[in-house]
Structure 1
Amino acid sequence: MRKTLTTSLCLLAISLLNPLWAKSVNTPLKQDYPINPVSFVAVKATDQFWAPRIRINQDITIPIALGHCYNTGRVDN
C-alpha cells in the first residue's frame, strides 16, 4: 500500500511539473542574442586550420577505419 501511494505521489508530482518543464524547453531565443542556430549541413569550413584536417579525416582516416571494420567483421551488413 505504501509503495502504491509513493508511486502515485511521484506520478502526480511529475504530471504537475511537466507543463513547467515544457514551457522552459520551448522558450524562443532572445532577440538581443547575436548568434542564431544553423543546420549542420549549412556549415562550411574554409579556413586554413580546420579545413585541411577535416579533409584528411574525410579522405583518409574514415575510409581506413571503415576498411578495418569490414576486414575484422565488425560490420557484417
Structure 2
Amino acid sequence: MARKEFQHYEAVSAAVPGDGAYSAAIAVKGLGAGGAPTFHRVLQDQTFKTALAADQAAVQELERLIDVTSEGELMFAQD
C-alpha cells in the first residue's frame, strides 16, 4: 500500500475484490475527515489473481496521480 497527500485529500493504493479476481483501485478521503473513503477503480480492463498484484498495479497508478479535484475525482499526469 502506498499513500499520497494533496492539499485537501489523501489517496492510497488499494485492491478491490470481485468475481474471483481483484481490481486495482485508489481510495480517496478528505484530510482529517472521518468516515469511509471513496474507491476509484483504475486500469478498468484489467483484473489480477491476487490482492498483492492489484495493489502493486494501483501503486503505479498512484505515482501518476497529480491531484484530486474538489469533487474528489482523480487527476492523472498525461503520458
TM-score w.r.t. the length of structure 2 is 0.23
Greater strand content: 2
Greater helix content: 1
TM-score w.r.t. the length of structure 1 is 0.23
Higher relative contact order at CA 8 Å, sep ≥6: structure 1 or structure 2? Answer: 2
Q: Which has the larger radius of gyration?
A: 1
